[in-house]
């Protein structure tokens, strides 16, 4: 057994001291906070990524530097496990401990404890692939990360400025290279080729679609969408909006998927371009979330969110499985969170199994793995479809008995190539939606009419200590602060079709309040009254009391 390279860790750690007054937490999507405070955290994540790789026998680990939907001044860092999935939960604890070690000596002690507890063989190689989004704090953080690799002697591969889902793809492609489970060429180009070729196969013979407008949130999705536009050509004409990736202050500002979902209105930059009925969609800051929408003849805005995407896609896949003659052996299920609109859950549950889990892709992903085909989407547009390995093998060896079965089977096989199964991927999901719309000959209006959303409202409350908020039952009920849930229940009973829940965000320093009711005015009122309760209970910032 070799030892930790203590001298080089010490020397480089001194260049990245931990700010004394800050506590860091590996949350819903890794570490996220002001980019200017993250130097020590990212250096230490570099060390941890190396250890994680050694623990997994030298498999390549991913590191993504991004704060996704958060404001431009924020940044973040998260680790990706070898199959392209989020970091295993037990290592999130190691990450938090290591990030908070107050001194270099304490850091070495914490690293040694991880090596001991996780039984890591330090003689194994360490390999990491890493990337960042377009934030201005990114380059300096990447240097800190590289120092972490250097300190541990890990081999790093820089994937440059790219989307989070492409980084996840690369991790899986690298680790499955030259195996029977090969995920594709381990390059950005390989990703674009794989997805666009399967898209072309899936839409062959279909009517050429009207141009689709993409709001790129002034983020890294603009670069990836432009590459897709070249690969797809006339198969899917794309018009890109909000592509100002180097304009300070533009990222996610009055645009992007999170803005559209929260404000339920058009992002800036699209008003003059969108014709009635024309499809448009928004990506978020690292292109892992997708929101569709259109304007009707009267100019009213209609949003097609993650729930609508889950419904569209699940129904399409269920039909294909049935048409292929595989419905008795392959089961499709859907995973949602408490934010799923009640009308979507009702619609889905009448047709197939539906499970509700806590917020965070990692929770949805793991739950979806229990199905032969698991469709998971958060209402905020983050999601994908997983085909289990046995299901993919069944597709490969199944012999259809009719031409119709053969066509459906081919579509299913092509879908396994089109969909980025490692994580929610806005651009892959966008192509998936376009495939379904083309097959069904649906416009946005027809898609939207599958079910009518219950009016709903999402509100953020700034409180002095969001850690005081603890939940149970997949975040649908509060257990702390004591007594608050009973007050929420009492309020909810006064509203027809009322539903509301409160949970602390894992990516922003706020508590989130969600409310639904039969009428729009009521859902707004319920959300603000529950937010008022939260504020009163938790000593919120007086200037930010929800009104
Ligand atoms: C991240 C997570 C999502 C989660 C979202 C909001 O998204 O990956 O699963 O829904 O944060 O989480 P919270 O409500 O805890 O702040 P993204 O797009 O920012 O990476």
Ligand 1 touching residue 359 (CB < 6 A): yes
Residue 31 alpha carbon to ligand 1 centre in Å: 12
DSSP H/E element including 282: strand 280-283
Residue 393 alpha carbon to ligand 1 centre in Å: 32
Q: How many residues does the chain have?
A: 547
Q: Is the peptide bond before 441 cis (omega within 30 degrees of 0)?
A: no
Q: Among 380, 458, 471, say which to mutate for ligand 1: greatest number of ligand atoms within 8 Å of CB.
A: 380
Q: Among 506, 508, 509, 512, say which to mutate for ligand 1: greatest number of ligand atoms within 8 Å of CB.
A: 506
User: In this predicted structure, what is the pLDDT of residue 510?
Assistant: 92
Nearest to 427 by CA among 135, 224, 193, 139: 224
Closest ligand 1 atom to 28 CA? 15
Ligand 1 touching residue 360 (CB < 6 A): yes
Contact 383, 365 (CB under 8 A): no
Q: Is 198 annotated as a binding residue?
A: no
Task: Considering the candidates 13, 68, 196, 358, report the single residue annotated as catalytic.
Answer: 68
Residue minimizing CA distance to atom 6 of ligand 1: 507
User: In this predicted structure, what is the pLDDT of residue 499?
Assistant: 96
User: In this predicted structure, what is the pLDDT of residue 292?
Assistant: 98
User: In this predicted structure, what is the pLDDT of residue 494?
Assistant: 97
Q: Could you list the pLDDT tens digit for every one of the 547 residues in the chain?
A: 469 999 999 999 999 999 999 999 998 889 999 999 999 999 999 999 999 999 999 999 999 999 999 999 999 999 999 999 999 999 999 999 999 999 999 999 999 999 999 999 999 999 999 999 999 999 999 999 999 999 999 999 999 999 999 999 999 999 999 998 899 999 999 999 999 999 999 999 999 999 999 999 999 999 999 999 999 999 999 999 999 999 999 999 999 999 999 999 999 999 878 999 999 999 999 999 999 999 999 999 999 999 999 999 999 999 999 999 999 999 999 999 999 999 999 999 999 999 999 999 999 999 999 999 999 999 999 999 999 999 999 999 999 999 999 999 999 999 999 999 999 999 999 999 999 999 999 999 999 999 999 999 999 999 888 989 999 999 999 999 999 999 999 999 999 999 999 999 988 889 999 999 999 999 999 999 999 999 988 765 555 555 5
Contacts 24+ apart (CB under 8 A), 513-518: 513/458, 513/459, 513/460, 513/461, 513/546, 514/338, 514/339, 514/456, 514/457, 514/458, 515/456, 515/457, 515/459, 516/341, 516/342, 516/454, 516/455, 516/456, 517/454, 517/455, 518/454, 518/455
Ligand 1 touching residue 335 (CB < 6 A): no
464: tokens are 């002095």
Ligand 1 touching residue 503 (CB < 6 A): no
Q: Is 512 annotated as a binding residue?
A: yes
Residue 461 alpha carbon to ligand 1 centre in Å: 16
Is residue 543 part of the annotated active site? The answer reads no
Residue minimizing CA distance to atom 17 of ligand 1: 68
User: In this predicted structure, what is the pLDDT of residue 545?
Assistant: 58
Ligand 1 touching residue 378 (CB < 6 A): yes
User: In this predicted structure, what is the pLDDT of residue 539?
Assistant: 63
User: In this predicted structure, what is the pLDDT of residue 546?
Assistant: 53
Closest ligand 1 atom to 378 CA? 10
Residue minimizing CA distance to atom 14 of ligand 1: 505
Ligand 1 touching residue 507 (CB < 6 A): yes
User: In this predicted structure, what is the pLDDT of residue 541?
Assistant: 54
Ligand 1 touching residue 239 (CB < 6 A): no
Nearest to 92 by CA among 83, 82, 80, 105: 80
Give the Cβ contact number of residue 373 at 10 Å.
Answer: 25
Q: Is 298 annotated as a binding residue?
A: no
User: In this predicted structure, what is the pLDDT of residue 547?
Assistant: 52
Distance (Å, whole) CA 526 – CA 257: 24
Residue 407 alpha carbon to ligand 1 centre in Å: 37
Q: What is the DSSP code (8-state) at residue 373?
A: E
User: In this predicted structure, what is the pLDDT of residue 505?
Assistant: 92
Residue 380 alpha carbon to ligand 1 centre in Å: 8
Distance (Å, whole) CA 96 – CA 262: 30
Residue 28 alpha carbon to ligand 1 centre in Å: 6
Distance (Å, whole) CA 541 – CA 433: 42
User: In this predicted structure, what is the pLDDT of residue 192?
Assistant: 98
Beta-strand runs (E) in 381-505 = 383-387, 456-461, 470-472, 477-480, 499-504
Contact 249, 33 (CB under 8 A): no
Q: Where does residue 287 rank: exposed (0-12), middle (13-18), buried (19+ CB within 10 A)? A: buried
């Amino acid at each position: 057994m070799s030892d930790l390279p203590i001298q080089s860790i010490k020397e480089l750690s001194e260049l990245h001291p931990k700010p004394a007054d800050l506590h860091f937490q590996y949350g819903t999507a890794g570490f996220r906070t002001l980019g200017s405070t993250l130097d020590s955290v990212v250096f230490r994540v570099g060390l941890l990524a190396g250890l994680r790789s050694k623990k997994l026998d030298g498999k390549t680990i991913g590191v993504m530097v991004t704060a996704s939907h958060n404001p431009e001044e924020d940044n973040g860092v998260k680790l990706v496990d070898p199959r392209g999935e989020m970091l295993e939960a037990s290592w999130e604890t190691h990450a938090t401990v290591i990030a908070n070690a107050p001194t270099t000596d304490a850091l070495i002690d914490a690293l040694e404890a991880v090596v001991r507890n996780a039984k890591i063989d330090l003689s194994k190689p360490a390999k990491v692939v890493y990337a960042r989004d377009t934030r201005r704090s990114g380059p300096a953080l990447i240097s800190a990360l590289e120092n972490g690799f250097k300190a541990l002697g890990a081999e790093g591969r820089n994937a440059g400025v790219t989307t989070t889902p492409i980084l996840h793809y690369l991790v899986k492609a690298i680790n499955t290279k030259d195996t029977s489970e090969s995920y594709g060429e381990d390059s950005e180009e390989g990703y674009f080729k794989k997805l666009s070729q399967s898209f072309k196969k899936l839409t062959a013979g279909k009517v050429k679609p009207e141009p689709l407008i993409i709001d790129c949130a002034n983020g890294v999705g603009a670069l990836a969408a432009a590459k897709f536009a070249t690969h797809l050509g006339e198969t899917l004409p794309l018009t890109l909006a909000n592509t100002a990736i180097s304009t300070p202050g533009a990222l996610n500002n009055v645009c992007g998927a999170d803005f559209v979902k929260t404000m339920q209105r058009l992002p800036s930059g699209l008003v003059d371009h969108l014709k009635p009925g024309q499809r448009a969609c928004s990506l978020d800051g690292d292109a892992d979330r997708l929101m569709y929408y259109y304007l009707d003849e009267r100019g009213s805005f209609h949003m097609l969110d993650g729930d609508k995407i889950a419904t569209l896609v699940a129904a399409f896949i269920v039909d294909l499985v049935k048409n292929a003659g595989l419905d008795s052996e392959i089961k499709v299920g859907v995973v949602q969170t408490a934010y799923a609109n009640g009308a979507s859950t009702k619609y889905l549950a009448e047709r197939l199994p539906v499970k509700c889990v806590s917020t965070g892709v990692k929770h949805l992903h793991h739950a979806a793995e229990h199905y032969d085909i698991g469709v998971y989407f958060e209402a905020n547009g983050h999601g994908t479809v997983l085909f289990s390995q046995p299901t993919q093998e069944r597709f490969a060896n199944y012999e259809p008995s009719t031409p119709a079965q053969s066509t459906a089977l081919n579509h299913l096989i092509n879908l396994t190539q089109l969909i980025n199964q490692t994580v929610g991927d806005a651009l892959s999901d966008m192509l998936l939606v376009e495939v379904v719309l083309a097959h069904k000959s649906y416009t946005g209006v027809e898609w939207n009419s599958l079910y009518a959303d219950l009016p709903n409202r999402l509100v953020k409350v700034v409180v002095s200590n969001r850690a005081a908020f603890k939940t149970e039952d997949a975040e649908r009920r509060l257990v702390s602060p004591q007594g608050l849930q009973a007050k929420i229940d009492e309020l909810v009973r006064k509203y027809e079709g009322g539903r509301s829940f409160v949970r602390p965000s894992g990516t922003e320093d706020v508590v989130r309040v969600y409310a639904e009711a039969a009428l729009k005015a009521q859902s707004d009122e319920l959300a603000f009254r529950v937010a008022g309760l939260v504020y009163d209970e938790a000593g919120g910032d007086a200037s930010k009391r929800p009104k």
